[in-house]
């Protein structure tokens, strides 16, 4: 179904995430659904890679574009 | 030729006391299992209406009879070319899902002997495998074998055998040895019965050799090789033991799928291979993951952030039109190894595809719907796509583009990065609504390592991408057909009630690919308004103890009565819209979708085998989906799919 290159790329990423394949519906785990209302302001801090650098951004203006604010 | 609905079982007892083989035809499974021994075997077979002399005079093996097994072969090709219509009163023809899918029984008279001889001559001239038994009062007295031999397997087997375990890490020795033995058995058995199946297995083995080569050249590591070989070993082993059971000599080739232990399920395997090969030829050959990589060449007129995440400006983008691939020679795709498994059901790995054994008896039921393979194949495409657009733990170059795309509104330098930005935005927004903690009255914050975040939502993001991909390509955006198919298949799985709300979100998300052009304020309401009546129509048809559709409808009712619940779902739904948008804009192609449905459907009389092309396997199977089916319908459909002239030699890829 895939080229050798795409197969290897996908396999490497799956292994990096600790996966070994795609499972059907019977093996799926339910994702969490928690009760949250949309907030106007969200601050996120994401650490990327091994660097100590932290990225801080305000999420509100962007989020509003595709999430209706109640 | 039309299949009858009478279910018969061909039973073979190896009688150890006198070392003879006794054959009988049973009318029921109870009768078939009567006097069962350690070496007994059986397979279901189906009488044909035109070539059946009825239960009193058909092949009951009293007196002297000839029984000729042939296959895999188009039954109508055999009937027409041998003009069997001229001898209807002299023979019985049965159809099976085994590798030998046609069985012809004649009596030991002049005409019967002539027909039996002609069958053998025809099989030899057409390179069709066969086996013929002369049976006297139920005991096989003489056995003539007709295996094919092209002497092509040895070359490939030697190539694999040349890999020495001493050239690999010690922990790979066992898996390599298993591969060598499994591939040798698969290749030699396939060669003995069917040229196209041999070519297919050869391509699988070539793919495995290429993966071994990538390890030896240093482009992949030992763990990746181990995983790949283990998966291929397991799949190839199951394919070979299912597709090449019951081949010459039948006495020695027992099938391990016990309801088909006499003749195996080779024709069913072949039918699935045809279906998968058809999809590989369209979706696989398009190489969508490679095309997404090619988006890096597009650096002008990049979409601004706003038009990337909302609006209709990008909705006409067609990745097939916008990208070109370098010319590739040879066959670039690694074919999927498909097999049936009662344990694995419908599931896939990058190189393998499993189908539930229940599909053998109800492939056109909504419960075991053969078309579910499209969901599993979509998983494989999306896994390959994610490798191009999602950061991978441990890849040194990824943090640079991740931080740039996350911190700058228009940080994308090309269209590939725009795709990545859409994916990152989607993952982060799902994370924010799922796990952030509230700080102060109106603020939430989160702190998480990048890959922890990606890992946490990888399955859900993947499912939304897969559902949308499946919906747009394989269901052609037909909401009613899609909802009916996926919910009726979910309803057949016991014990997943706690997943219903997630399935509800996935359904709402996927069907929203049809209306990405409307505003986000209206979209969720539109999706609910479309889905609810469809579920209401389906709910009364569910006859299981737990009705997941009722559970979903109860959840929708709660949304309608409780604003907080509605807002909660609205938010979760809209977070997933960026993933739907990603598929709609950057993966879907109207041009490619049309290639999946190239011809109008050619229907035929129920249970009739006439050799006419079906036009399109996806549409043909879809048109035969029902709630309640007869087992013979699966035998009928497998025999149509396996030998449909529309596919040509698709088996070999």
Half-sphere exposure of B638 (CA within 13 A, CB side): 30
Residue window 16-45, chain A: list those with CB within 8 Å of chain B: 16-45
pLDDT at B438 > cutoff 60: no
For residue A26, the model assigns a pLDDT of: 33
State both tokens at B363. Answer: 């492939």
pLDDT higher than 70, residue A40: no
DSSP for B139-176, written as a single string: EEEEEEEE----S-HHHHHHHHHTS-GGGS-GGGHHHH
Residue B108: is its pLDDT beyond 50? Answer: yes
Task: Give the whole-angstrom CA distance, residue B357 versus residue B353.
Answer: 13
**DSSP single-letter state for residue B376:** H
pLDDT one-digit tens code per residue, B316-343: 999 999 998 877 655 579 999 999 998 8
Pairwise CB contact (< 8 Å): B402 & A26 = no
Q: What is the pLDDT of residues B264-295, one digit of tens each?
A: 999 999 999 999 999 999 999 999 999 999 99
What digits encode the pLDDT tens for the residues B587-614?
Answer: 999 999 999 987 766 678 899 998 888 8
Q: Any CB–CB contact under 8 A between A10 and chain B?
A: yes
Tokens of B583: 């598929």
Mean of pLDDT values over B97-110? 95
pLDDT-derived band at B396 (thresholds 50, 70, 90) equals confident
Reported confidence tier of residue A33, pLDDT bands at 50, 70, 90: very low
Task: Note the pLDDT of residue A35.
Answer: 29
Which residue is it, tokens 């997933």?
B576
Query: Residues B489-514: pLDDT tens digits?
Result: 999 888 888 899 999 999 999 999 99
State the average pLDDT over residues B580-592.
96
Is B445 part of the contact surface with chain A (CB cutoff 8 Å)?
yes
Does pLDDT of A53 surpass 50? no
Model pLDDT for residues B478-492, shown as the tens digit of each residue: 999 999 999 999 998
Chain B residues close to A61, C-beta within 8 Å: none
How many angstroms from the chain centroid is the CA of residue B484? 19
CB of A4 within 8 Å of a chain B CB? The answer is yes
Mean model confidence pLDDT for chain B = 91
Please state, for a pLDDT cut of 70, what percent of chain A lies above it.
27
Mutation for A interface: B284, B350, B494, B558, most A CBs within 10 A: B350
Degrees, nearest 5: CA angle B529-B626-B284: 80
Alpha-carbon distance of B309 to B289, in angstroms, equals 21
Decide if B44 contacts B96 (C-beta within 8 A).
yes
Work out the pLDDT band at B633, boundaries 50, 70, 90. Answer: very high
Q: A31: pLDDT confidence band, cut at 50, 70 and 90?
A: very low
- Cβ of B379 under 8 Å from any chain A Cβ? yes
Q: Does B238 score more than 90 pLDDT? A: yes
User: Both ends of chain A: CA-CA distance in Å?
Assistant: 44
Mark yes or no for CB contact B428/A12 under 8 Å: no
Please give the average per-residue pLDDT across B175-193, as a whole number: 95
**Considering CB atoms only, which of A2, A35, A49 is closest to B564?**
A35
**Predicted confidence (pLDDT) at residue B430 exceeds the cutoff of 60:** yes
DSSP B254-273: --SSGGGTTTTTHHHHHHHH
Q: What is the pLDDT of residue B7?
A: 86
Q: State the CB neighbour count (10 A cutoff) for residue B142.
A: 10
Give the alpha-carbon dihedral of B339, B7, B634, B631, to 10 degrees. -100
Alpha helices in B363-475 (DSSP H): 373-389, 398-407, 415-435, 450-473
């Amino acid at each position: 179904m895939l080229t050798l290159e795409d197969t290897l790329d996908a396999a490497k990423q799956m292994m990096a995430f600790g996966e070994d394949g795609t499972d059907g519906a019977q093996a799926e785990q339910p994702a969490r659904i928690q009760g949250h209302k949309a907030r106007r302001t969200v601050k996120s801090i994401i650490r990327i890679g091994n660097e100590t650098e932290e990225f801080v951004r305000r999420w509100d203006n962007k989020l509003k574009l595709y999430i209706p604010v109640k | 030729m039309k299949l009858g609905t009478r279910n018969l079982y061909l039973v073979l007892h190896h009688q150890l006391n006198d070392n003879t083989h006794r054959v009988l035809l049973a009318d029921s499974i109870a009768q078939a299992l009567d006097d069962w021994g350690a070496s007994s075997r059986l397979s279901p077979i189906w009488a044909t209406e035109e070539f059946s002399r009825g239960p009193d005079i058909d092949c009951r093996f009293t007196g002297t009879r000839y029984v000729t097994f042939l296959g895999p072969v188009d039954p109508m090709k055999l009937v027409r070319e041998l003009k069997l219509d001229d001898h209807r009163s002299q023979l019985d023809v049965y159809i099976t899902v085994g590798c030998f899918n046609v069985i012809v029984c004649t009596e030991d008279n002049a005409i019967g002997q002539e027909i039996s001889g002609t069958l053998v001559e025809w099989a030899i001239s057409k390179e069709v495998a066969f086996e013929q038994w002369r049976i006297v009062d139920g005991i096989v007295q003489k056995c003539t074998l007709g295996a094919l031999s092209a002497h092509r397997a040895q070359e490939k087997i030697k190539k694999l055998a040349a890999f020495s375990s001493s050239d690999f890490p010690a922990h790979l020795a066992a898996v390599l040895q298993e591969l060598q033995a499994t591939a040798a058995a698969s290749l030699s058995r396939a060669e003995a019965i069917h040229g196209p199946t041999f070519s297919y297995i050869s391509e699988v083995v070539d793919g495995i050799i290429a993966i071994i080569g990538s390890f030896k050249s240093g482009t992949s590591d030992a763990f990746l090789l181990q995983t790949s070989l283990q998966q291929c070993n397991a799949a190839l082993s199951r394919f070979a033991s299912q597709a090449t059971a019951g081949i010459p000599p039948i006495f020695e080739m027992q099938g391990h799928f016990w309801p088909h232990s006499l003749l195996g399920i080779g024709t069913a395997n072949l039918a699935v291979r045809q279906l998968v090969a058809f999809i590989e030829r369209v979706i696989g050959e398009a190489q969508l993951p490679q095309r997404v990589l090619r988006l890096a060449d597009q650096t002008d007129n990049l979409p601004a952030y706003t038009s990337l995440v909302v609006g209709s400006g990008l909705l006409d983008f067609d990745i097939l039109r916008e990208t070109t691939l370098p010319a590739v020679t040879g066959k670039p795709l690694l074919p999927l190894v498909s097999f049936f498994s009662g344990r694995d059901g419908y599931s896939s790995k990058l190189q393998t595809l499993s189908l539930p054994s229940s599909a053998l008896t109800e492939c056109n039921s909504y419960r075991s719907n053969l078309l579910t393979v499209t969901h599993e194949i979509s998983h494989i495409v999306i896994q390959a796509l994610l490798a191009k657009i999602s950061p991978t733990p441990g890849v040194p170059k990824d943090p640079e583009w991740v931080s740039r795309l996350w911190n700058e509104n228009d940080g994308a330098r090309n269209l590939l990065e725009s795709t990545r930005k859409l994916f990152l935005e989607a993952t982060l927004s799902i994370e924010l609504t799922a796990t952030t903690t509230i700080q102060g009255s109106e603020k939430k914050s989160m702190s998480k390592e990048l890959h922890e975040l990606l890992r946490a939502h990888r399955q859900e993001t993947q499912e939304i991408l897969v559902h949308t991909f499946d919906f747009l390509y394989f269901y052609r955006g037909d909401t009613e057909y899609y909802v009916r198919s996926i919910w009726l298949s979910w309803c057949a799985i016991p014990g997943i009630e706690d997943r219903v709300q997630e399935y509800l979100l996935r359904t709402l998300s996927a069907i929203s690919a049809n209306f990405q052009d409307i505003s986000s304020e209206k979209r969720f309401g539109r999706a609910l308004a479309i889905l609810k009546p469809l579920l209401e129509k389906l709910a009364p048809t569910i006859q299981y103890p737990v009705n997941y559709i009722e559970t979903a409808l109860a959840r929708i009712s709660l949304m309608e009565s409780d604003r907080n619940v509605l807002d909660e779902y609205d938010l979760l739904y809209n977070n997933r819209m960026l993933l739907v948008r990603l598929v709609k804009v950057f993966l879907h192609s109207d041009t490619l979708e049309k290639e999946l449905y190239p011809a109008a459907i050619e229907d035929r009389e129920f249970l009739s085998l006439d050799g006419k092309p079906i036009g399109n396997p996806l549409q043909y199977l879809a048109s035969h989906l029902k709630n309640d089916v007869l087992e013979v319908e699966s035998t009928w459909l497998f025999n149509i799919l396996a030998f449909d002239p529309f596919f040509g030699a698709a088996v070999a890829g």
